[in-house]
Amino acid sequence: MKKFASSILIFWICAVLLGRVFSLSGNNIDLNVVLALPNAQYWLGADDLGRSILARILRGVEVSFFVAVLVTLITMTIGVLIGLLAGFYGGKIDRILMQITDIFLAFPGILLAIAFAAVLGPGIGNLMIALCITGWVSYARLTRGQTLSLRNRQHVQAAESLGASVPRLLVKHILPLLSSILIVEATYSLASIMIAEASLSFLGLGIQAPNASWGAMLRDGVRYMLVAPHYVLIVGLSLMSLILAINLLGDQLRDKLDVKGVEHS
């Protein structure tokens, strides 16, 4: 399974790079080939406006990677900071920060993202804001729990007794011990954010035309499932293969780094 996951990820990375090299455009409309089956010119067929499905899939995965990586970095930074402060200081600060976290946990993350995206309006920028607002919670709880345990380690207490500042204690003595578990959590988060981005775009709250998005392509393909099933099947299988590969990679990292207590959602 390790080779399978790595092969899928390498395939998509190479496909995106080749799409850039050959300057494949996913916005060229040709009404003479609407919903065309795969052929020599359109390797994966054409969509409802005669655009190349292959080119749009490559643009879609590019956008999906960009959104997932950037949102993961932002949410990890916010969540880790909140978790470190709550776990290190404890007391009132811990209670306040965890009560805020619990409020966000009381609602399914995707529903909150839909609500925020609906309020902010469609578009890639607002989509990322909505995902960032809801995505930091898991990092905060995970970091807080680990920090509570690491706070009492002898090397942390020794550094504190020698006069080390709080930022130094957190960055030099606690955060490095959290790196393995945070890397695994980030891997699962990438897959979750890709699914969330596709879901919001499917509902019309995410990336807007003419920009390509797998969620929007699935929405368009469902309307023509009876006359052009290849459209929705190709996009759906592409999304499934990428998400599966990332989750398998997360499982492998968790086993290799001997990380306990991290499960993908």
Angle at 30 between CA 24 and CA 34, to 5 degrees: 110
- Tell me the CA end-to-end span of the chain in Å, nearest whole number: 20
Task: Say yes or no to pLDDT of 213 above 50.
Answer: yes
Q: Which residues contact 119 (CB under 8 A, 6 or more apart)?
A: none
The domains located in the chain, with CATH, are 2-30+42-256 (1.10.3720.10)
Asked if the model's pLDDT at residue 58 lies above 50, the reply is yes
Q: What sign does the CA torsion over 63, 65, 198, 43 have?
A: positive
What is the token pair recorded at 227? 């006359």
Our CA angle for 229, 200, 21, nearest 5°, is: 70
User: Per-residue pLDDT tens for 84-109?
Assistant: 999 999 889 999 999 999 988 888 88
Please, is 242 exposed, middle or buried when counting C-beta atoms within 10 Å of its C-beta (0-12, 13-18, 19+)? buried
Could you give the percent of the chain with pLDDT greater than 70? 96
Peptide bond into 210 cis (omega under 30): yes
Q: Using an 8 Å Cβ cutoff, are 216 and 206 in contact?
A: yes
If we measure between CA atoms, which residue out of 42, 17, 27 comes closest to residue 212?
A: 27
What is the rounded distance in angstroms from the CA atom of residue 212 to the CA atom of residue 236?
14
Residue 115: Cβ within 10 Å count: 15
Inform me whether the pLDDT recorded for 18 exceeds 70. Answer: yes
C-alpha to C-alpha distance for 155 and 178, rounded to whole angstroms: 15
Across 170-196, average pLDDT: 90
Give how far the C-alpha of residue 27 lies from the chain's centroid of Cα atoms, to the nearest Å.
25
CB atoms within 10 A of CB 177: 15
| Predicted local confidence at residue 1, as pLDDT | 66
Q: What's the pLDDT at 260?
A: 60
